[in-house]
Amino acid sequence: MRKLRWLILLGVQVAALAQQAPPLRLKVPPDPNAPAMFLPEPPAAVHVIVQFQDPPTPDTLQALAGRGATTVSYIPDNAVLTTMNAAVSLVDLPVHYAAPLSPYQKISPLIADGNPSVIRGNYLVEFHPDIDASAARRVILNLPLLELLDNPDLASRHVLLHVMDLSREAEALASLAAQDAVAYIFPAAPELIQGLPVGVDLPVAPGLLLASGEVLGQLVSSFGDGWDGPGKNAVTLNYFFSQLTSQLPDLVTKSEIARALAEWAKVAQITWVPDASPTADRTINILFATGDHGDGFPFDGPGGVLAHTFYPSLPAAEPLAGDMHFDDAESWHFGSNFDVFSVALHEIGHALGLGSSDNPDSVMYPYYRLRTGLAQEDRDAIWTLYAARTETPPLTLTVNPPPITTTSATISLSGTVTGGSGTPTVTWTTSTGASGTASVSGTSWTAASIPLAMGLNSITVTATDTTGSSSSTVSVTRQAVTPPPLALTANAVPAATTSATISLSGTVTGGSGTPAVTWSSSTGASGAASVNGTNWTALNVPLAIGFNSITITAADSTGSISRVVSTTRTVSPPPTGTDTTGPALTITYPSTTLATTQASLTFRGTASDPSGVASVTFSTNTGSAGTASGTNAWSAAIPLLVGFNQVVIRAYDTAGNMSWRSVIVTRR
């Protein structure tokens, strides 16, 4: 296979510049033994990486375009991905390297090396930025052994596929990698394979080729030398909270993001300092926003992209360099999806210069997973850019802010403990003298059921290990519970009735504890209602003939409240013929003359009549009188004076007929 003329000429220039080679930050670098300039026939337009000796200027890129090449995206360092054909000449341009990606450069080393994190047969394919989604899907569908899998949360350049015959997996992936449209093939996370909702992030390079910047590909390992410049050095960076989400308390959101910053500082010599300006150089501006928020990369709403982050300066441009933007249209949480700490931990890696990892177990994998800390791969990656931290980081304790006030008798606190040496112990003490030990799991701690006294309580939480201790104090005021006022309702009763009794009902709410509900009528009868939850019922309240007023009262320790209902009892028309017979009346107790020392005695008996018993009354020779409770079965508590008491019981039917019985009771 012959080489094209422009490639031969370019090869001469590459050889002349070989001693000053800038790094090409690809996960799979070019084979050093392969020709630097090689393009097979036919000379159709293909994707070619063109690397310059120095960062390309607009004039350099314009000259490249003038020769027929189309710039697609930036690749660090000093390189651009282009499309060109054999007619394009690179002679006299300051080009250091130019070649297409070889098939082996497009397959993740994790796949090639058989890494245990790889789920065989399931892979993500990233296509070049100028390949639309329909063309990308056609590439997969036109190849044997491959089938497409769908997941709505996939990034726009990603396709999820399944290799149908694992015995021919290597053959299938090699055939796929040989396609010019394919940029990179890497492992799919189990969440993607299962079709679970996941978020994705976009690492962004501002102002490099396009006015608004661009999204860098999965094949890039890192972006530039990091904020510390060439070599592995220490660095001090600033951060600024420009706008936070209204979904969560500001203090806790700041604490979670600060905890994520501290995770990276634990393994690399990075010092984070709060800044006073979001646009200052070397400042990570942290922003929650929705839709188009002015950086050229509008958010897509719930689902899809969770956040995007701009790479460091240089070579990215200030003031956006390093800035972290979160989509506030997502549902943000602490410790559950979507977790602020987990997303911030990933985004900070990009802000420091790291590309996206191919390993689903790594924090830097481009799709969301709940995280508690960095994986070893993340540590190894950051150590390629910055000096490793060898000294023990200081013991750091955070306490999530409790509510300012509460009516509860106890409270639970939680937070994080990082740094130090070994596993720290977290204890708590209160201003009332209570104390206890929190449970620690990883970098999180929880103290449950801390007792609170009425009024102000100060709670001091202390983390202790072999390096020392760290304390933090929070305050919460316990307030007395003010019960709602007692409220009583009585359901309406009929305005008139011929019945000798009536049942009442209603509700009782508020107050403290279980209230008592009683009733009393204008005829002197009274009793207690039954209460079940917020409902009360009073059965068989006796009615006298004529107007009856019944007062219902609810009472508890907070006070009492009353309601009044009224009804008129009318006499039923007598049956055909003249009714002149009074009710059959019996006094069952006392049934005969009685002597007692009691001041009152409850008389009981029965009464019946074909037309119905209207009422039962009593009177004594000493002047007492009243209406008994009930009619067919009646009772009456009758007061007694010392000496002779004649008690007369009268029963009335609905026709007005009366019958009576009397008993003599002597009170000694």
CATH number of the structural domain spanning residue 241: 3.40.390.10
Two tokens, residue 62:
């314009």
- On whether residue 388 sits in a domain, the answer given is no
Distance CA(24)–CA(75), nearest Å, equals 8
Q: Is residue 516 a part of any domain in this protein?
A: yes
Query: Are 133 and 81 spatial neighbours (Cβ–Cβ below 8 Å)?
Result: no
The number of folded domains in the chain is: 6
Euclidean distance between CA atoms 125 and 662, whole angstroms: 106
- The pLDDT tens digits for 527-577 are 999 999 999 999 989 888 888 899 999 999 888 999 999 888 887 665 556
pLDDT at 390: 81
Tens digits of per-residue pLDDT, 67-103? 999 999 989 999 999 999 888 888 889 998 899 999 9
Looking at the fold, whether 257 and 374 belong to one and the same domain comes out as yes
pLDDT at 554: 93
- Whole-number pLDDT of residue 40: 47
Same domain, 212 and 237: yes
Per-residue model confidence (pLDDT) at position 574? 58
576 lies in some domain: no
User: 């019944």: which residue's tokens?
Assistant: 550
Is position 451 within any domain?
yes
| Within a domain: 391 | no
Integer CA distances (angstroms), 416 to 175, 252, 347, 362, 400, in order: 49, 11, 20, 21, 8
pLDDT < 70 stretches in the chain:
1-20, 34-43, 201-215, 315, 572-577
pLDDT score, position 383: 96
Specify whether 47 is located in the same domain as 32: yes
Residue 390 forms part of a structural domain: no
The DSSP secondary-structure symbol of 223 reads -
Predicted TM-score (pTM) of this structure: 0.60
- Among 545, 546, 541, smallest CA distance to 505 is for 541
CA distance 329 to 310: 20
Inter-residue contact 523 to 542 (CB < 8 Å): yes
Among the three residues 569, 594, 610, which one is the final residue of a domain in this structure?
569
Residue 578, in any domain of the structure: no
Quote the pLDDT of residue 19: 45
Residues whose CB is less than 8 angstroms from the CB of residue 28 and which lie 6 or more positions away in sequence, other chains included: 104, 105, 106, 107, 108, 109, 219
Q: Is residue 65 part of a domain?
A: yes
CATH number at residue 139: 3.30.70
Question: How far is residue 181's CA from residue 131's CA, in Å, rounded to a whole number?
Answer: 7
**Distance (Å, whole) CA 106 – CA 178:** 9
Q: CB neighbours of 122 closer than 8 A, spacing ≥ 6?
A: 149, 160, 161, 162, 163, 187, 188, 192, 193
Same domain, 305 and 367: yes
Whether 218 and 337 map to the same domain: the answer is: yes
What residues make up the domain containing 308? Answer: 199-382
With CA atoms as reference, report the closest residue to 630 among 657, 655, 607. 607
Same domain flag for 415 and 343 = no
- pLDDT value at position 44? 80
Q: What is the pLDDT of residue 43?
A: 65
Whether 278 and 363 share a structural domain: yes
CATH number of domain containing 401: 2.60.40.10
Same domain? 378 vs 291: yes
Torsion-angle region of residue 301: left (phi > 0), alpha (psi -120 to 50) or beta? left
Q: Are residues 95 and 14 in the same domain?
A: yes
Tokens of 212: 């608004």
Altogether, the residues listed in the chain come to a count of: 668
Q: 57 and 127: one domain?
A: no
Which of 519, 542, 569 is a domain's end point? Answer: 569
* Three-state SS at 471: strand
Considering the domain architecture, whether residues 294 and 377 belong to the same structural domain is answered as yes
170, 204: one domain: no
- State which of 507, 534, 569 marks the end of a domain: 569
